[in-house]
């Protein structure tokens, strides 16, 4: 048993002292904690408090316009009332909310799908349009019921619109809601950009960016068109309720992009193609301005802006016509006979031929145990250089190809841009194939495939074999020839316009380089090409023009016939020959060159050249074909 | 004539305050002043009424004044009754109590009361009475009896469940027991064990707070509360949100504070319970470290004064009661500031004389009244 002293005052006082010590210790602990929070970590917490109370409310910038070379607006904005849902204030089930809203305003299944997709894509952050272009009656009905829908509001929004719908869709492209991936990409771009880079992303305020260009010029000129989103600094409560605006930073509208394209010419050509598939590129050789950039069939870029519905998307994607495929940029075709003028120029420049040197054409050329046929039975007889172009004599070029060899052809054609990236201001350009022994070695895996066979050289002379170029490259090559070897980078945009001052800044690229050519040699080729339209394969098409025009038809085989006769009518549509045509006009001082293909149409002279004739008639003389509806400016 | 009227009024006025300990009175006035100033800022844009705060302060003062007039002898004789009624009510709560938010804490006897509040005063009264009775003839089993007196109500409160109040009642009782002479060799092992436990929790916090680790003896939400304290960011939108936001408020106040009515954390509703349990965060944000040091100095002075009064008290009952009441003030202040500044888990403990709330102010006024009564009656008994 423990015994206890009588608890006297001394013992009590001793314990009071200990209690005082304990209390003092605890208070020192608190003071240490407060010093830690309020002195040592003050900066960190001050910042946190500031971040807490300030929200940045984005003010999207007006997107710049797309304007053609003559001032016609082909991409613009309009304002409309939209039903917006603020994800942060949304409570409960999204579907139930939409069900309830749909009793007040019309919400199509498509609206619902689009909303839910963008809502989920953006991880439920931000404000999303549920229904755009509300009618007056709908607006009134919603305003009367708005108390039932916290987080849902009506706002005026700016929408992108392509007033001519399908017209020039492949070059314009379209914009779409910014995705998480877009944002990550932009973030990386901001971090890597240099301060002095004028093309760098102009802002770090990503939340204000709601739409970005997805393809076409909308994509490649995104940084110019977008502008700088502004924002209001708003003080908010813990619940996200705005209290007052502290400051605001206005948005800077995007700049207008002035195209080098003549949209009327573009429209005409698209109409002339009718139901044919194909690609058509027209370039002003002296500047590299692209005047028309046609890919048929088209699609309607307006369908994509607010998110395309799955039915339309499936239709576009599954169509064997491949309407989403940018043919002039990505489609590669054998150039066929349109390659012959370039081959002839190569012959002159490499001194393998003189203009007057002739061959005798029996209608075929035997090489090893293979016979290369000419398209004219019995042959063209005695053929010099001009005749070889005018009558499109294959045998002349079989021999020429054999004499030059694959690498000499490659080295001559490369500076013209064949099988090279032209550097056009669109993304996703195909490189095509300009064959050489080295190309073959690098392309194939097995050693027996890597070897170049002499027989493979022969058909290269008539633009077949491994040759595969884009129509853009063909047009670029034509422009370089028409421009006497001065190479201009092809481009769709010629200037950037300030939306307020209307001041234009030229973006036209300067001369890229010169191909060293003998002027007389160029003249021989040009003269022969003019003769093609006077007495050659496309003479009937160009009868009665008020200008001199040089051209060359081409017919490209889609599959190898293996010496069998080609019968257009009995061949399956997608296996029929492509009709090609290249041209420059006026012949003395070309202001326009054309390269085009009409897919699976047949002979170039029959199907391609007439389109080129009408395009040139319009561009050079202002003549509009009767069968094509008049151009109407969009309201 | 006029002069005598003024003198008469002065006399009456002074007689109201006569017998109140002047030091204690000034300290309490200082704390109540701080409380009032902070209340004005914290209650802006909230439905809490200014008149209510004034009424509560007046009520607290009135209770203090009345109790200060009551001789300690009275308290001694009623101690057992108060304790008995408190215990009976706690048992009644366990059987008939109202359930709100999953806890059975309230009793409807025409109006709703929370008997555990009464226990905060009844417990030290009862234990002080018991040790007074055993003065001079104390045996070691007296601590066993004290443990039973302490344990039953604490277990009843803990079962409600109301761990915060249970701990405070337990602390109030333990202060009496320790001050009554509980041998050090019985105290120190527990202190050591507690310290060891805290160190273990801090070191192994992340391990023991893992999702699938089950703690013996405690509810899951209690484990959650401790774990949130160790790492507030683990639950940034729940319990951790409060701690994080009040720490931001305190930290962003800096040395001088943002100024009265200038606290953004408080005014933009980032601080929970900003006029009650978390009022310290509001004060800290607006008056900074400087304000906090003044406030802590006032609390320290309050405790020093309370202990001094107890040390010079005439008998064991008043000594134990006074010191225990004083240490309860300390416990409230320490636990509240510790919890708001993220040092202790979040438990519902008000900041004495500063938090808004009638019950707490009345209980605290009662405690202050006891101290004043002890001080007032020291000579009467001694002589």
pLDDT at A196: 54
Nearest to A421 by CA among A371, A473, A471: A473
Residue B231 has pLDDT above 50, yes or no: yes
In this structure, the number of other CB atoms found within 10 A of the CB of residue B16 comes to 10
Give residue-wise pLDDT tens across range B242-292: 788 889 999 999 999 998 988 888 877 778 778 888 899 999 999 999 999
Residue A239's pLDDT band, with cuts at 50, 70 and 90, is: low
Between B235 and A617, whose confidence is greater? A617
Residue A363 burial (CB < 10 Å; 0-12/13-18/19+)?
middle
CB pair distance less than 8 Å for A45 and B135: no
pLDDT confidence of residue A1: 36
Name the least confident of B19-23, B93-97, B237-241: B237-241
Residue A86 scores a pLDDT above 50: yes
Provide the annotated active-site residues of A: 337
* Residue A198 pLDDT > 70: no
Give the pLDDT of residue B190: 85
Residues of chain A contacting B269 with CB distance shorter than 8 Å: 237-239
Q: Which DSSP letter does residue A452 get?
A: P
Q: Which residues of A touch B (CB under 8 A)?
A: 1-2, 4, 6-7, 11-13, 15-16, 19-20, 23-24, 26-27, 29-31, 33-35, 37-39, 41-42, 44-46, 48-50, 52-53, 235-239, 243
Query: Are the CB atoms for A32 and B296 separated by under 8 Å?
Result: no
CB-CB: which of A31, A35, A235 is closest to B268?
A235
Three-state secondary structure of chain B: CHHHHHHHHHHHHHHHHCCCCHHHHHHHHHHHHHHHHHHHHHCCCCCCCHHHHHHHHHHHHHHHHHHHHCCHHHHHHHHHHHHHHHHHHHHHHHHHCEEECCEEEEEECCCEECHHHHHHHHHHHHHHHHHHHCCCCCCCHHHHHHHHHHHHHHHHHHHCCCHHHHHHHHHHHHHHHHHCCCCHHHHHHHHHHHHHHHHHHHHCHHHHCCCCCCCCCCCHHHHHHHHHHHCHHHCCCCHHHHHHHHHHHHHHHCCCCCCCCCCHHHHCCCCCCCCCCCHHHHHHHHHHHHHHHHHHHHHHHHHHHHHHHHHCCCCHHHHHHHHHHHHHHHHHHHHHHHHHCCCCCCCCCCCCCCCCCHHHHHHHHHHHHHHHHHHHCHHHHHC
What is the distance between the alpha carbons of residues A112 and A98, in angstroms, rounded to a whole number?
Answer: 8
**Residue A450 · residue A441 · CB < 8 Å:** yes
pLDDT tens figures, A179-195:
778 877 877 776 666 55
User: Does residue A98 carry a pLDDT above 70?
Assistant: yes
Sign of the Cα pseudo-torsion (B247, B252, B256, B262, in order): negative
Torsion-angle region of residue A419: left (phi > 0), alpha (psi -120 to 50) or beta?
A: left
Rounded to the nearest angstrom, the minimum Cα separation between A81 and chain B is 32
The pLDDT value given to residue A5: 44
Cβ distance B337 to A238 less than 8 Å, yes or no, reads no
**CA-based nearest residue to A277, from A603, A608, A567:** A608
For chain A, what is the mean pLDDT? 87
Structure token pair of residue B188: 């120190």
pLDDT digits (tens, 9 = 90+) for B161-195: 888 888 889 999 999 999 988 888 888 888 888 88
Residue B7 has pLDDT above 50, yes or no: yes
* CA distances, A268 to each of A166, A294, A340, A487, B296 (Å): 13, 10, 28, 27, 86
What does the block give as tokens for A201?
């992303």
Question: Looking at CA atoms only, how far is residue A86 from chain B in angstroms?
Answer: 20
CB contact under 8 A, B264 and A52: yes
If you count residue pairs, one on A and one on B, with CB atoms under 8 Å apart, how many are there?
135
Cα B256 to Cα A302, B39, B251, B284, B297: the distances in Å are 59, 19, 11, 9, 17
- pLDDT at position B382 over 50: no
Task: Tell me the C-alpha distance between B222 and B209, whole Å.
Answer: 11
A455: pLDDT strictly greater than 70: yes
What confidence tens digit (pLDDT) does each residue in B120-144 have?
A: 889 999 999 999 988 878 788 888 8
H/E stretch holding A115 reads helix A109-121
- Average the pLDDT over A396-401 and give the result: 96
Using DSSP, state whether A500 is helix, strand or coil: coil
| pTM for this model (two decimals) | 0.66
Which one, of A293, A263, A279, A66, lies nearest residue A162 by Cα?
Answer: A66
pLDDT at A80 over 80: yes
pLDDT digits (tens, 9 = 90+) for A19-68: 999 999 999 999 999 999 999 999 988 888 888 777 777 778 899 999 99
pLDDT tens, position by position, A358-374: 999 999 999 888 889 88
Please state which of the ranges A90-99, A274-283, A299-308, A555-564 shows the lowest mean pLDDT: A555-564
B227 vs A156, more confident: A156
At A352 the three-state DSSP class reads: coil
Residues of chain A with pLDDT > 70, as a percent, come to 91
Cβ contact, residue pair B311, A12, below 8 Å: yes
Between residues A553 and A118, which one has the greater pLDDT? A553
How many helices and strands, by DSSP H and E, does chain A display? 24, 23
Instruction: State residue A38's pLDDT score.
Output: 93
**pLDDT tens sequence across A329-359:** 999 999 999 999 999 999 999 999 999 999 9
Identify all chain B residues contacting A35, using CB atoms and an 8 Å cutoff.
289
Nearest CA in chain A to B258: A46
What is the arithmetic mean of pLDDT over A101-119? 82
Q: How many CB atoms lie within 10 A of CB B215?
A: 14
Nearest CA distance, B70 vs chain A (angstrom):
24
Distances (CA, A) of A561 to A362, A456, A569: 20, 15, 15
Contact B268 A12 (CB under 8 A): no
In this predicted structure, what is the pLDDT of residue A331?
Answer: 94
Which of A114-123, A406-415, B49-58 is predicted least confidently? A114-123
The reply to whether residue B288 touches residue A16, judged by beta carbons under 8 angstroms, is: no
Contacts of the segment B262-266: beta carbons below 8 A, 24+ positions apart: B262/B286, B263/B41, B264/A49, B264/A50, B264/A52, B264/A53, B264/A235, B265/A49, B265/A52, B265/A53, B266/B41, B266/B42
Tell me the per-residue pLDDT of A486-536, one tens digit each, with 9 for 90 and over: 999 999 999 999 999 999 999 888 888 999 999 999 999 999 999 999 998
Mean pLDDT rounded to a whole number for chain B: 85
Q: How many helices (H) and strands (E) does chain B have?
A: 16, 3
Q: Are A201 and A224 in contact (CB under 8 A)?
A: no
What ipTM describes this predicted complex?
A: 0.90
Nearest-CB residue to B250 (from A23, A37, A235): A37
- Closest Cα in chain A, distance from residue B53 (Å): 25
Q: For position A9, what pLDDT does the model report?
A: 64
């Amino acid at each position: 048993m423990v015994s206890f002293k009588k608890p006297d005052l001394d013992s009590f006082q001793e314990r009071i002292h200990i209690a005082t010590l304990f209390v003092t210790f605890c208070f020192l602990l608190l003071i240490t904690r407060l010093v830690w929070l309020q002195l040592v970590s003050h900066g960190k917490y001050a910042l946190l408090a500031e971040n807490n109370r300030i929200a940045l409310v984005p003010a999207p910038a007006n997107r710049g316009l797309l304007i053609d070379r003559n001032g016609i607006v082909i991409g613009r904005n309009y304002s409309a009332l939209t039903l917006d849902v603020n994800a942060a204030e949304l409570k409960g089930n999204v579907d139930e909310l939409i069900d309830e809203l749909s009793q007040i305003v019309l919400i199509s299944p498509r609206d619902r799908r689009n909303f839910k997709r963008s809502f989920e894509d953006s991880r439920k952050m931000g404000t999303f349009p549920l229904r755009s272009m509300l009618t007056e009656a709908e607006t009134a009905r919603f305003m009367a019921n708005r108390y039932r829908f916290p987080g849902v509001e009506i706002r005026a929004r700016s929408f992108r619109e392509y007033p001519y719908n399908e017209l020039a869709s492949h070059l314009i492209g379209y914009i779409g809601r910014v995705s998480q991936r877009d944002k990550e990409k932009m973030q990386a771009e901001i971090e890597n950009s240099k301060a002095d880079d004028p093309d760098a992303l102009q802002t770090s305020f990503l939340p204000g960016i709601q739409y970005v260009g997805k393809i076409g010029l909308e994509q490649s000129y995104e940084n110019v068109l977008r502008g700088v989103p502004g924002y209001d600094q708003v003080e908010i409560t813990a619940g996200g309720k705005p209290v007052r605006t502290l400051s605001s930073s206005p948005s800077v509208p995007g700049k207008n992009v002035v195209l080098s394209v003549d949209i009327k010419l573009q429209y005409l050509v698209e109409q002339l193609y009718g139901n044919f598939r194909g690609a058509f590129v027209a370039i002003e050789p002296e500047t590299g301005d692209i005047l028309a950039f046609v890919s048929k069939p088209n699609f309607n870029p307006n369908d994509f802006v607010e998110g395309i519905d799955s039915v339309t998307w499936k239709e576009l994607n599954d169509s064997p016509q491949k309407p989403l495929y940018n043919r002039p940029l990505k489609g590669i075709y054998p150039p066929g006979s349109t390659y012959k003028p370039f081959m002839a120029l190569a012959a002159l420049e490499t001194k393998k031929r003189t203009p007057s040197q002739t061959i005798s054409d029996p209608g075929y050329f035997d090489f090893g145990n293979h016979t290369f046929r000419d398209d004219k039975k019995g042959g063209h007889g005695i053929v010099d250089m001009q005749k070889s172009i005018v009558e499109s004599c294959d045998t002349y070029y079989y021999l020429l190809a054999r004499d030059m060899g694959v690498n000499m052809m490659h080295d001559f054609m490369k500076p013209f841009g064949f099988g090279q990236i032209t550097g056009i201001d669109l993304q996703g350009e195909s490189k095509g194939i300009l064959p050489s022994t080295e190309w073959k070695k690098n392309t194939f895996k097995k050693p027996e495939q890597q070897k170049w066979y002499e027989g493979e050289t022969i058909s290269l002379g008539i633009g077949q074999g491994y040759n595969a170029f884009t129509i853009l490259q063909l047009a670029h090559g034509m422009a370089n020839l028409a421009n006497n070897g001065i190479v201009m980078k092809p481009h769709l945009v010629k200037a950037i316009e300030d939306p307020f001052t209307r001041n234009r800044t030229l973006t036209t690229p300067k001369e890229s380089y010169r191909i060293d050519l003998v002027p007389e040699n160029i003249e021989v080729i040009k003269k022969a090409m003019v003769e093609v339209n006077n007495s050659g394969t496309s003479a009937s098409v160009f009868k009665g023009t008020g200008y001199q025009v040089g051209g060359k038809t081409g017919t490209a085989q889609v599959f190898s016939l293996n010496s069998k006769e080609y019968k257009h009518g009995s061949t399956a549509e997608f296996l029929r020959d492509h009709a090609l045509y290249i041209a420059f006009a006026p012949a003395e001082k070309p202001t326009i060159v054309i390269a085009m293909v009409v897919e699976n149409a047949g002979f170039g002279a029959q199907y391609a050249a007439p389109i080129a004739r009408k395009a040139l008639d319009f561009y050079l003389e202002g003549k509009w074909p009767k069968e094509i509806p008049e151009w109407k400016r969009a309201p | 004539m006029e002069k005598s009227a003024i003198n008469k009024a002065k006399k009456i006025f002074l007689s109201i305050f006569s017998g109140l300990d002047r030091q204690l009175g000034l300290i309490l006035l200082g704390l109540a002043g701080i409380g009032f100033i902070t209340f004005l800022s914290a209650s802006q844009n909230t439905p809490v009424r200014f008149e209510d705060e004034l009424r509560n302060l007046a009520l607290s003062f009135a209770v203090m004044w009345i109790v200060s007039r009551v001789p300690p002898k009275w308290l001694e004789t009623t101690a057992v009754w108060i304790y008995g009624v408190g215990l009976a009510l706690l048992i009644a709560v366990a059987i008939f109590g109202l359930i709100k938010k999953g806890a059975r804490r309230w009793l409807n006897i025409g109006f709703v009361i929370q008997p555990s509040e009464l226990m905060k005063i009844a417990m030290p009264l009862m234990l002080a009475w018991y040790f007074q009775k055993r003065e001079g003839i104390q045996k070691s089993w007296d601590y066993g009896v004290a443990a039973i007196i302490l344990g039953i109500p604490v277990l009843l409160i803990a079962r409600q469940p109301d761990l915060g109040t249970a701990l405070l009642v337990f602390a109030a009782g333990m202060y009496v027991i320790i001050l009554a002479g509980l041998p050090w060799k019985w105290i120190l092992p527990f202190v050591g064990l507690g310290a060891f436990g805290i160190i273990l929790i801090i070191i192994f916090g992340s391990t023991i707070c893992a999702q699938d680790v089950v703690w013996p003896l405690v509810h899951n939400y209690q484990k959650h509360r401790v774990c949130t304290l160790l790492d507030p960011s683990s639950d940034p939108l729940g319990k951790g949100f409060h701690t994080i936001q009040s720490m931001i408020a305190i930290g962003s106040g800096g040395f001088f504070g943002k100024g009265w009515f200038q606290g953004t954390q408080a005014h933009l509703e980032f601080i929970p319970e900003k006029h009650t349990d978390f009022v310290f965060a509001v004060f800290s944000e607006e008056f900074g470290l400087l304000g906090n040091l003044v406030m802590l100095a006032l609390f320290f002075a309050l405790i020093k004064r309370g202990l001094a009064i107890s040390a010079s008290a005439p008998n064991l009952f008043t000594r134990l009661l006074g010191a225990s009441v004083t240490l309860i003030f300390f416990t409230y202040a320490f636990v509240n500031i510790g919890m708001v500044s993220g040092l202790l888990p979040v438990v519902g403990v008000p900041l004495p004389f500063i938090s808004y709330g009638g019950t707490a102010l009345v209980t605290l006024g009662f405690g202050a009244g006891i101290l004043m009564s002890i001080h007032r009656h020291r000579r009467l008994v001694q002589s």
